[in-house]
């Protein structure tokens, strides 16, 4: 076995696939990897505040079971033939690899679960989400849970309950959000990848702000059961923040697919997503735009990152041309606001039902309370009218993506802002909404509305050393094209060797 302190492990440079290979070859044990990751969290977390619920002893117990099995997942296949119990199950792809869960939407039995809200302080999960079952089946060792803004409401990670998560590239700046705790943990190399979810950009914005790869899968690719059928009509999705493209693809292979009783499935991929990594993407037609919906350009650093990506894609043989996404009318914007307000009313109402009481005056942050109050004024007819408006818009996007394979923009419209910029006060409850909107003005939410896959790719850093991601929107069900292109970009402009100022 490899001892803790081995130089290869201590750099934190290995991705999850490489770490799983060490365990599979018996060069390191799951317990060693878990202890290594715990040490890394303990080193970096006091500075970054990414992990808010440590579950270290529980993780070590899981790792011991993995080592005892001999095949790496704790399922009893001691002969290591990849067929535990003779049922034809494959060898787990990430046996022994440390992992973190975002403390939002996905529940882990027996673990604190607050979704960043003082209203849920002291709440403990009583069941495992289906995604957690699949993560464990993939062999991942869950070390703890990461920080998130209250109910994932804003593009920052600064809840009153746990305090702000700091960006490893500049601890005085935001990680964006809402998967900011997971992004900080992966960027600082506490773990090679971590869970996140995305209802309007919450995987992709932190990926951009923290220099990571962030894929938002197709609607219903990963399950939300057993508690939810879907979330906000399929706007929300589950996946992860990773440093490598191959980790993202292999993890989606391990967790994807419908569960019994799901309201609908995502289209079945033609082959495993891992097989798309390294495959020739062909000559893609890529439309790009530097403009946000009001017609103005984003921050110069973001536009520069976009044009660098266009130049790179053109140099790789792809056809690039400037074009704005059609149909982003004020009516579409109003419909987005209606759905978002209604979603907040549902979230708070859901927890009122589970908690058996309404929140006290100091148990919701000002911006959440403002959204909740606005959402309670949305009628059923208002909501359905908004849904119809957005479905019409989705058809216009689908037609546009019949002419082009992908639509490219910057991921964020400004570099990561200073801490405190995307926060609210009782006197100005919508400050977080307004200020946050200036950082995420490019319409990442289009992927959530249409259900299509999208990704943020870390191709640029500005003169302050802050990462600036670029965003590709794909066709519904077509993660394959995104993974092919992402792997090509990763090879042409590698990002894995870049290291932030705060590392474990």
Domains present along the chain, CATH in parentheses: 7-86+95-492 (3.90.1300.10)
The enclosing H or E element of 481 equals helix 479-492
Single out the residue of 388, 407, 385 nearest to residue 398, CA to CA: 407
Q: Using one digit for the tens of pLDDT, what is the confidence trace for 60-117?
A: 999 999 999 754 555 544 333 333 333 455 689 999 999 999 999 999 999 999 999 9
Q: Are the C-beta atoms of 462 and 195 separated by less than 8 Å?
A: no
Place of tokens 């077509």: 478
pLDDT at site 89: 54
Distances (CA, A) of 29 to 8, 19, 277, 318: 15, 10, 27, 44
Could you tell me where the DSSP H helices lie in 288-379?
A: 300-315, 330-355, 366-375
State yes or no: cis peptide before 226, omega within 30 of 0: yes
Read off the tokens for 299. 């921050």
Q: Using one digit for the tens of pLDDT, what is the confidence trace for 225-270?
A: 999 999 999 999 999 999 999 999 999 999 999 999 999 999 999 9
CA gap 246, 321 in Å, rounded: 28
CA gap 77, 71 in Å, rounded: 6
Computed over every residue of the chain, the mean pLDDT equals 95
Rounded to 10 degrees, the C-alpha dihedral 234/236/239/243 comes to 130
Q: Using one digit for the tens of pLDDT, what is the confidence trace for 385-407?
A: 999 999 999 999 999 999 999 99
Percent of the chain scoring above 90 in pLDDT: 93
Q: Are the C-beta atoms of 184 and 150 separated by less than 8 Å?
A: no
Rounded to 10 degrees, the C-alpha dihedral 103/107/111/116 comes to 30
Q: Which residues contact 254 (CB under 8 A, 6 or more apart)?
A: 92, 93, 94, 134, 135, 137, 138
Q: Are the C-beta atoms of 36 and 1 separated by less than 8 Å?
A: no
* Residues known to be catalytic: 102, 178, 202
pLDDT at site 86: 39
From the centroid of its chain, how far is CA 189?
A: 16
Q: Using one digit for the tens of pLDDT, what is the confidence trace for 146-205?
A: 999 999 999 999 999 999 999 999 999 999 999 999 999 999 999 999 999 999 999 999
- Give the CA diameter of the chain: 64
Question: Is residue 448 pLDDT above 60, yes or no?
Answer: yes
pLDDT at site 473: 98
pLDDT at site 87: 45
pTM reported for the whole predicted model? 0.95
pLDDT at site 91: 81
pLDDT at site 12: 84
Neighbours of 68 (CB within 10 A): 12
CA gap 197, 240 in Å, rounded: 7
Q: Crossing angle of helices 330-355/380-403, nearest 10°?
A: 130
How would residue 5 be classed by pLDDT, with cut points 50, 70 and 90? Answer: low
pLDDT at site 11: 65
- Of the candidate ranges 11-15, 218-222, 458-462, 476-480, the one whose mean pLDDT is the lowest: 11-15
Single out the residue of 474, 332, 370 nearest to residue 154, CA to CA: 370
CA gap 160, 312 in Å, rounded: 41
pLDDT at site 339: 98
Q: Are the C-beta atoms of 41 and 185 separated by less than 8 Å?
A: yes
Per-position DSSP letters for 166-224, written without gaps between them = PBTTBTTB---SSSHHHHHHHHTTSSSEEEEEESSSTTHHHHHHHT-EEEEPPTTSS--
- Interior/surface letters 162-186, b for 16+ CB within 10 angstroms, e for the rest: bebbbbbbbbebbbbbbbbbbbbbb
């Amino acid at each position: 076995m490899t001892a803790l302190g081995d130089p290869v492990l201590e750099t934190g440079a290995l991705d999850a696939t490489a770490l799983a290979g060490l365990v599979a070859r018996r060069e390191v044990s799951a317990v060693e990897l878990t202890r290594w990751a715990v040490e890394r969290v303990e080193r970096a977390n006091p500075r970054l505040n990414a992990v808010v619920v440590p579950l270290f002893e529980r993780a070590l117990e899981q790792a011991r079971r993995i080592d005892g099995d001999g095949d790496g997942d704790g399922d009893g296949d001691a002969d290591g033939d990849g067929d535990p119990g003779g049922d034809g199950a494959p060898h787990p792809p990430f046996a022994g690899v440390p992992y973190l869960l975002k403390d939002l939407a996905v529940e882990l039995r027996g673990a604190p679960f607050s979704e960043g809200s003082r209203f849920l302080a002291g709440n403990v999960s009583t069941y495992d989400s289906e995604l957690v079952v699949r993560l464990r089946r993939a062999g991942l060792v869950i070390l703890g849970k990461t920080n998130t803004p209250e109910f994932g409401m804003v593009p920052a990670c600064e809840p009153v309950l746990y305090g702000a998560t700091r960006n490893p590239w500049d601890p005085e700046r935001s990680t964006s959000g809402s998967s900011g705790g997971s992004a900080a943990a992966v960027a600082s190399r506490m773990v090679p990848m971590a869970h996140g979810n995305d209802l309007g950009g919450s995987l992709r914005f932190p990926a951009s702000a923290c220099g990571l790869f962030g894929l938002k899968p197709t609607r219903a690719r990963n399950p939300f059961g057993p508690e939810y059928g879907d979330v906000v009509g399929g706007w929300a999705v589950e996946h992860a923040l990773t440093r490598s493209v191959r980790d993202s693809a292999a993890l989606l292979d391990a967790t994807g697919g419908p569960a019994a009783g799901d309201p609908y499935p995502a289209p079945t991929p033609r082959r495993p997503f891992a097989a798309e990594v390294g495959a020739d993407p062909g000559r893609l037609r890529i439309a790009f735009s530097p403009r946000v919906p009001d017609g103005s350009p984003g921050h110069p650093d973001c536009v520069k990152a976009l044009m660098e990506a266009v130049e790179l894609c053109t140099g790789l043989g792809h056809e690039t041309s400037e074009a704005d996404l059609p149909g982003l009318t004020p009516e579409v914007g109003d419909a987005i606001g209606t759905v978002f307000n209604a979603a907040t009313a549902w979230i708070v109402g859901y927890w009122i039902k589970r908690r058996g009481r309404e929140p006290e005056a100091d148990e919701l942050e000002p911006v959440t309370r403002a959204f909740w109050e606005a959402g309670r004024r949305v009628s059923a007819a208002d909501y359905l009218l908004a849904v119809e408006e957005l479905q019409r818009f989705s058809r216009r996007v689908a037609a546009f993506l019949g002419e082009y394979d992908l639509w490219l923009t910057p991921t964020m419209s400004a570099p990561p802002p200073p801490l405190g910029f995307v926060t609210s006060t009782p006197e100005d409850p919508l400050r977080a909404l307004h200020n946050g909107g200036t950082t995420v003005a490019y319409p990442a939410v289009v992927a959530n509305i249409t259900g299509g896959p999208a990704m943020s790719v870390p191709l640029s850093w500005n003169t302050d050393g802050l990462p600036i991601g670029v965003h590709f929107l794909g066709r519904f069900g077509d993660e394959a094209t995104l993974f092919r292109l992402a792997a090509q970009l990763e090879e042409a402009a590698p990002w894995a060797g870049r290291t932030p100022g705060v590392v474990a």
